[in-house]
Structure 1
Amino acid sequence: MTVNGRPRLSDTERCVDEVIRRVGKTITLGLPLGLGKPTRLVNALYQRAKDDPEINLHIFTALSLLAPSGASSLEKRFMGPFAERLYGDIPELQYARDVLKNRLPPNVQVSEFFFKAGSYLNNRNQQQQYISTNYTHAVRDLMNLGVNVVAQMVSPGELHDAPGMVSLSCNPDLSLDLLPLLREMEASGAPVAIVGEINRQLPWFGRDAAIAEDQFDVMFEHQASEYPLFSAPQMAISSVDHLIGFYASTLVKDGGTLQLGIGSLGAALVHSAILRHKNNDAWRAVFDRLKVAECFPLAVREGGVGPFEKGLYGCSEMMVDGFLYLMEAGILRREVHDNADLQTLINDGEIDEQVSLATLDVLRREELIDSPMRARDVAWLQRHGILQDAVDFKGGRLRVGEHSLDTNLDDIESREAIASLALGERLTGGVALHGGFYVGPKKFYQSLRELSDTDRDRICMTSVSFINHLYDHQFGDQRLKASQRVHSRFINTAMMYTLSGAAVSDGLEDGRVISGVGGQYNFVSMAHELPDARSIITLRSTRNTKGTVVSNIVFNYGHCTIPRHLRDVVITEYGIADLRGQPDEQVYLRLIRIADSRFQRGLLSQAQKAGKVDAAFRLPASWLNNTPESIAKAFAEAGGKDWFPAFPFGRDFTDQELALGQALNKLKVKTATRRGKVVTLLQAFRAKDEQGRYTELLQRMGLSQPSGLREKLDQRLVILGLQLTENPPDTGNSKA
């Protein structure tokens, strides 16, 4: 098949041959973050490099996704059927599997700037090859590395009235910036190859994401590449997560802007925002029960308690599935326009989405159009829907069918004629969500494919250089972005937070990388640059490490992602800490206030010893109820699972898998220490399913009829785990 004079090849080997013909055997391959990797093509190129040691292949990317497999024998039994169900029809990234198993050939190097959280924590090769960079600097760093090949999965335009076009869909994030730079390299004499892989499972997005297919040098198309998209399953939202999400929802301002990340904390916020909008009485009851206005006045001062009457605009490097739920709920509906003057007039209430003669009068007053109108005025007004598309401008007059209208806005008859024949009904071309990339559950991809043309056009997948910061000449100027991003709430997560106000989000103090900086620094910094914007860091107050509960709010830490001078708002399940512009003593105390009470005295003692808090300060009694028991009580009083379910947006796990997952998690916690392992094994030897209550669950694990000592022990462990989840011990340290 040929499109625009360029062939679509159906053989990956021929594609690899063409790449090598164009650039030679020294290949620096840039691949999209996450979903958009063209797996068939990449596997073919990687296999060629494995077969031919003369090829030097350096892969630069982020988030190389693999199906989960589990570490222990029990985890493998649990994950096997689940992974087969979700990922069995998806080809695996062979280089990523070899990276995980430390078996890359010596002529292949893989560098990533963002890991799937924790996936390479103990992989020395990847820790050594990790490149630390802001998301917005990744293109610069790719160019410095000498990238000469870019490969990406794309969606074809034939089925979307866009022949000759393809959509970058899930990953215009870096490609929109990178492809022109590669063509500049080529023009200067450096060989390059831009390669695409057609996949009709990939949802189509137009606007910035749609580019001409002839921008690619090689395009691969084969039925074998029409494979399902790699999905990220919905994770359960705990009571702790729900409370964090609820507090965050109090800070979202109607008529504002929202940025979110992936995970249960982001999903919890989306759920609470929808509850606030659609069941406001129930939401307000929780607001009052938690005494938010009294304890955390920032929510009243800069957030809101009512439904989202004006709606929100989304501007997020990652389009999580939660944005679709916000759109369906009627919350994500504030549309922004690509003209700063027009957007400012909308923000100020000078004009609204409904078009009238008053719209023309305001635009004329602001000298955005002239009277009589000129050709450029008419074209500009049509682009924004203020004049109908059917209007022509000829000979200095508006032509509408058989009618010829004067464009003098001071003439009463002309005004009446324009109003009745030429004016549009509403502003058009607005965008409710700008996104850079997406990864999500299987259901999410199906919803994207089924979007109406109207809703799809309200989403603009575009470059991170537009989304993640203000200073960009190619994709919108600073004034335009500031006019669109009013009352921004940039909501991100952290692993730990120090009392001085530094966030730890991507790595450990020994230098090992958990994930990466991504765009977090950009959004936090932007919150300090935009008027009315706030950076909100969410984190759970504690975590369980080797069987011991430890605080995520710490006195200090030997690594930080966000430095303390960018401190702003921090939320745990115990409330909101407003840190912006506060003196150090207040920052320390406000963070201690939302820490778990088991650690408050120790944190205060360290702060006082360092001279950061007055030695005479004592913890108020009202701060000392930050316990798992109080969370359980607050959650129950707030309506519990009736209002705050574990899976408000559906799930990929079956009922059996949920029960088994809880049991395995319980066992993992119990066996985190050497003593815990011994005790758990002794308990497992005594665990029996005498009444056959767990027969189906044991069948799911392949342990209904164990053979051999290993399987018999695994069966007993599963039975013990199930018994523990049904009858958890009262230790006082269990999570709510």
Structure 2
Amino acid sequence: MTGQNTVYLNDADACVDQVIARVGKDITLGLPLGLGKPIRFANALYQRAKEDPEIRLHIVTALSLLAPKGSSSLERRFMEPFVKRLYGSVPELVYARDVVNNQLPDNVKVSEFFFKAGSYLKIPGQQRNYICTNYTHAVRDLMAQGVNVVGQLMAPGALHGQPGKMSFSCNPDLSLDILPLLRQREADGTPVAMVAEQNPQLPWFGRHSVVEDNEFDVILSAPATDYPLFSAPQMAVSPADHMIGFYASSLLKDGGTLQVGIGSLGVALVHSAIVRHKHNEVWQSVYQQARVDERFPVVRDYGGTEPFDIGLYGCSEMMVDGFLYLLQEGILKREVFEHEGLQRLINEGKVSEQPSLETLDVLRTEGLIDSPLRNRDLQWLIDHGIFRNSVELKGGRLRLDAGVSVDANLDDPETRDRLQATGLGEKLTGGVVMHGGFYVGPEKFYQELRNLPEQQREKICMTSVNFINHLYDHAYGDQKTKMAQRLHGRFINTTMMYTLNGAAVSDGLADGRVVSGVGGQYNFVAMAHELPGARSIIALRASRTSGGEAVSNIVFSYPHCTIPRHLRDIVITEYGIADLRGKSDEDVFLGLIRIADSRFQDSLLKKAKKAGKVRSDFELPKDWTNNTPQQVRETLAAAGDEDWFPALPFGRDFTDEELRLGKALKSLKASTATPRGKLSTLWQALRVNDDGRYRAMIERMGLSNPGSFREKLDRKLVIHGLQQLESPTQKGSVKS
């Protein structure tokens, strides 16, 4: 059943009236994660609930995006102009802001299965309402919450030659699966409402993403209130991030499959992959300096060092902007096909992308087509570009161009000659280089997606997360086809901490608070253990600063884990690669200690020995004990004088002044993390000499004419932070 009486409206409040008329005032609203939220409709419904206490509204979603505000006076001064520039025209998601401010009314509850990292650590209500689920189980668990209304931002088809249709564009991930389930719920007697909010700013994607308008009950189309898409700024990449990305790029196999997540480590991987492809001699110089081949033999067996001749295929729940850069640089180019038999023959090298008579012979031998050809054979050959669209089959004869007619028997010499001359297509068609479930990224990313040439756009298939994260049977692909497509899978994800026994801590803390969520990480790790030749790669920085002290991210143990130890595989820090799959506990413990920050190796080894996991006479080899930031910088410097590993390899949203100010504020925050550090920093700041060098940046912070004592102090703190950038000092003690 579909919304045969679809209502088109240009007012969000009128949409709310329609929804209440259909389902009543007890509403469980399912919203897509990230970008796909219909902000006008969601805000109108939430406002109605605030005004009418008889409405009971439960919003079930994930990743509610808000513009940053800043937690201190200096951070707010820094962020406000930037936020206005980037988000000034994007309406704010009001319920999400009220969640952050602890201002939800009693008749409204918000449950999420994935948080923006760290955003709700201090909000007990959201911690209580969090729903822990794998991404592939999210639809099941949303339905269990009693969802009866779904809202979705959609790309209208009229602008793309598809009147009467819409595209899920950024979020088919869960929506493709939940809509038919809701229609079934409706058929079983529960009223439901599907609401689409059209926004022409959304890039158009076809294939699995396209649906008829009448799949929805209510469509909000209000061009006068259209708004830009919420963007995520480009993330800065540190030398440590670049080194991690470099090691990860050495594990990519030409002709393989790539999954990668959001964040600076993903950016670093994409950048290093591009350097490997386009500037291989530069990449090789770093490879040799790091002695990767010698120190980490897993690269010889599973990775590669050459440019990407065959190319990669992307299969990632999140299509990060890095995949677009890989596409533009000619790396993301390995096409996969929805037919398992054809894909298998391509993998085996028996069929190439250029159709030939030999292609037909192989297809016959494998039983994919018959001879003489039948209508279904001909259609299959045309659909895959093996025959030209103009070829017809009538009366047992093939009709080719220029009125030529030949027997449909592929053994006939004349048929073969004529097909060779005028019947074969130029290359296989229908292939896909990228399967994605959702996307969110910088505005530059959205604009380039909107401007994609049609030929490239057709090679991207936005689809259900169950297709991407599962191998099991699904409406969009069976297990054998997926396995044939996902050759040499490299599933690269990040974590916060990693225990010596091989467990990843990615989503929560020891006290039970949730930092983000499981998302699809478990799915990809498990898939890597099921696919022949695939590897799960978990990346993390070896250490972090907490409370003004350096802390190891490789820990002896931790009360919480996201990925259990029996799924341990490959782990990467800026100090190397630990190959853990199938290894003994002692080898796992030592492999992780080897890539830990050298400040913590002795204490980790001591604990391992005490637990009996490492023999008591083991001594750290000398070449393990130089895991320092200086060693990372020296390794990257082997690339040469040019800045091959920049902080912002794919552009930036901040100005030069903002970048310097951001660094200064970050340094100030670190130096004031402890009471002693705060007193010391304040004392030094009060004594700074303002010689006018930073006038432009002081003006950018709105502190040119400070009035209050707070403003005068903030001005001095900014100057002190900028001065410290010019003569940095090492601060902070080490905490084991």
TM-score (norm 1): 0.98
Which letter does structure 1 place at the counterpart of 2:651?
G
Residue 654, structure 1, aligned to residue 622, structure 2:
no
**DSSP-derived class of the 1:642 partner:** coil
Q: Deviations over 1:546-568 (max 9, x none)?
A: 00000000000010000000000
Identity level (%): 66
Tell me if the contact between 1:199 and 1:225 (Cα under 8 Å) persists in the aligned partners.
no
Which letter does structure 2 place at the counterpart of 1:85?
R
**DSSP-derived class of the 1:510 partner:** coil
Which letter does structure 2 place at the counterpart of 1:69?
K
Aligned-pair distance for 1:194?
A: 0.4
**DSSP-derived class of the 2:189 partner:** coil
**DSSP-derived class of the 1:643 partner:** coil
Residue 307, structure 1, aligned to residue 314, structure 2:
no
Tell me if the contact between 1:465 and 1:472 (Cα under 8 Å) persists in the aligned partners.
no
* Cα separation, 1, equivalents of 2:635 and 2:400: 63
Aligned to 1:86: 86
Which letter does structure 1 place at the counterpart of 2:469?
N
* Cα separation, 2, equivalents of 1:166 and 1:141: 26
* Cα separation, 2, equivalents of 1:625 and 1:315: 36
Instruction: Output the aligned Cα RMSD.
Output: 1.2
Tell me if the contact between 2:671 and 2:731 (Cα under 8 Å) persists in the aligned partners.
no
Aligned-pair distance for 1:4?
A: 8.8
Query: Cα gap change, 1:661/1:59 in structure 2, threshold over 3 Å: closer, same or farther?
Result: same
Give matches, 1:388-427, under 5 Å.
388-401=388-401, 402-427=403-428
Aligned-pair distance for 1:731?
A: 4.7
Which letter does structure 1 place at the counterpart of 2:347?
N
Q: Deviations over 1:201-232 (max 9, x none)?
A: 00000000111111010000112442110000
Residue 278, structure 1, aligned to residue 278, structure 2:
yes
Which letter does structure 2 place at the counterpart of 1:278?
K
* Cα separation, 1, equivalents of 2:61 and 2:255: 36
* Cα separation, 2, equivalents of 1:65 and 1:12: 20
* Cα separation, 2, equivalents of 1:388 and 1:444: 35
* Cα separation, 1, equivalents of 2:360 and 2:495: 48
The more displaced of 400-409 and 331-340 is 400-409
Aligned to 2:359: 359
* Cα separation, 2, equivalents of 1:124 and 1:731: 34
Aligned to 1:710: 710
Aligned-pair distance for 1:405?
A: 2.4
Q: Deviations over 1:165-199 (max 9, x none)?
A: 10000000000001111111111111110000010
Aligned to 1:561: 562
Give matches, 1:44-55, under 5 Å.
44-55=44-55
Tell me if the contact between 1:4 and 1:213 (Cα under 8 Å) persists in the aligned partners.
no
* Cα separation, 2, equivalents of 1:95 and 1:482: 42
Tell me if the contact between 1:29 and 1:57 (Cα under 8 Å) persists in the aligned partners.
yes
* Cα separation, 2, equivalents of 1:25 and 1:640: 65
Residue 435, structure 1, aligned to residue 430, structure 2:
no
Aligned-pair distance for 1:641?
A: 6.2
The more displaced of 722-731 and 138-147 is 722-731
Query: Cα gap change, 1:637/1:417 in structure 2, threshold over 3 Å: closer, same or farther?
Result: closer
Aligned to 2:287: 287
Tell me if the contact between 1:4 and 1:164 (Cα under 8 Å) persists in the aligned partners.
no
Aligned-pair distance for 1:340?
A: 0.6
Give matches, 1:37-116, under 5 Å.
37-116=37-116
* Cα separation, 2, equivalents of 1:640 and 1:136: 46
**DSSP-derived class of the 1:338 partner:** coil
Aligned to 2:385: 385
Query: Cα gap change, 1:266/1:686 in structure 2, threshold over 3 Å: closer, same or farther?
Result: same
Aligned-pair distance for 1:394?
A: 2.1
**DSSP-derived class of the 1:491 partner:** strand
* Cα separation, 2, equivalents of 1:733 and 1:261: 32
Which letter does structure 2 place at the counterpart of 1:491?
I
Aligned to 1:701: 701
Which letter does structure 1 place at the counterpart of 2:237?
I
Q: Deviations over 1:491-518 (max 9, x none)?
A: 0000000000000111101000000000
Aligned-pair distance for 1:382?
A: 1.0
**DSSP-derived class of the 2:315 partner:** strand
Which letter does structure 2 place at the counterpart of 1:508?
L
* Cα separation, 2, equivalents of 1:430 and 1:512: 43
Tell me if the contact between 1:628 and 1:733 (Cα under 8 Å) persists in the aligned partners.
no
Q: Deviations over 1:647-706 (max 9, x none)?
A: 11000000010000000000000010111111111111101212x000000000000110
* Cα separation, 1, equivalents of 2:674 and 2:407: 84
Aligned to 2:478: 477
* Cα separation, 1, equivalents of 2:616 and 2:333: 51
Which letter does structure 2 place at the counterpart of 1:464?
V
Which letter does structure 1 place at the counterpart of 2:204?
W
* Cα separation, 1, equivalents of 2:652 and 2:644: 17
Which letter does structure 2 place at the counterpart of 1:440?
G
Aligned-pair distance for 1:425?
A: 1.1
**DSSP-derived class of the 2:643 partner:** helix
Aligned to 2:133: 133
Aligned to 2:228: 228
Tell me if the contact between 2:548 and 2:733 (Cα under 8 Å) persists in the aligned partners.
no
Aligned to 1:257: 257
**DSSP-derived class of the 1:424 partner:** coil
**DSSP-derived class of the 1:497 partner:** strand
Q: Deviations over 1:447-495 (max 9, x none)?
A: 0000000000000000000001111332211101000000000000000
* Cα separation, 2, equivalents of 1:394 and 1:646: 63
Query: Cα gap change, 1:308/1:702 in structure 2, threshold over 3 Å: closer, same or farther?
Result: same
Give matches, 1:174-193, under 5 Å.
174-193=174-193
Which letter does structure 1 place at the counterpart of 2:117?
A
Which letter does structure 1 place at the counterpart of 2:589?
Y
Which letter does structure 1 place at the counterpart of 2:610?
K
Q: Deviations over 1:284-330 (max 9, x none)?
A: 11100110001011112210010000000000000000001000110
Query: Cα gap change, 1:641/1:602 in structure 2, threshold over 3 Å: closer, same or farther?
Result: farther
The more displaced of 413-422 and 663-672 is 413-422
Which letter does structure 1 place at the counterpart of 2:586?
E
* Cα separation, 2, equivalents of 1:345 and 1:181: 36
Q: Deviations over 1:377-401 (max 9, x none)?
A: 1111111111111222222222235
Q: Deviations over 1:355-412 (max 9, x none)?
A: 0111110000001100001111111111111111122222222223523221101111
Tell me if the contact between 2:344 and 2:484 (Cα under 8 Å) persists in the aligned partners.
yes
Which letter does structure 1 place at the counterpart of 2:379?
A
Query: Cα gap change, 1:679/1:459 in structure 2, threshold over 3 Å: closer, same or farther?
Result: same
**DSSP-derived class of the 2:196 partner:** strand
Aligned-pair distance for 1:417?
A: 1.5
Aligned to 2:173: 173
Gaps of 5+ in 1: none
Residue 729, structure 1, aligned to residue 729, structure 2:
yes
**DSSP-derived class of the 1:704 partner:** coil
* Cα separation, 1, equivalents of 2:56 and 2:185: 20
Residue 142, structure 1, aligned to residue 142, structure 2:
yes
Tell me if the contact between 1:289 and 1:638 (Cα under 8 Å) persists in the aligned partners.
no
Tell me if the contact between 2:500 and 2:557 (Cα under 8 Å) persists in the aligned partners.
yes
Aligned-pair distance for 1:732?
A: 8.7
Aligned to 2:684: 683
Which letter does structure 1 place at the counterpart of 2:420?
A
* Cα separation, 2, equivalents of 1:179 and 1:405: 48
Aligned-pair distance for 1:633?
A: 2.2
Which letter does structure 2 place at the counterpart of 1:585?
E
* Cα separation, 2, equivalents of 1:685 and 1:534: 54
Aligned-pair distance for 1:161?
A: 1.7
* Cα separation, 1, equivalents of 2:455 and 2:354: 17
The more displaced of 493-502 and 222-231 is 222-231
Aligned to 1:578: 579
Which letter does structure 2 place at the counterpart of 1:246?
F
* Cα separation, 2, equivalents of 1:550 and 1:473: 44
* Cα separation, 1, equivalents of 2:633 and 2:653: 26
* Cα separation, 2, equivalents of 1:332 and 1:221: 35
Aligned to 2:604: 603
Tell me if the contact between 1:198 and 1:225 (Cα under 8 Å) persists in the aligned partners.
no
Aligned-pair distance for 1:414?
A: 1.1
Gaps of 5+ in 2: none
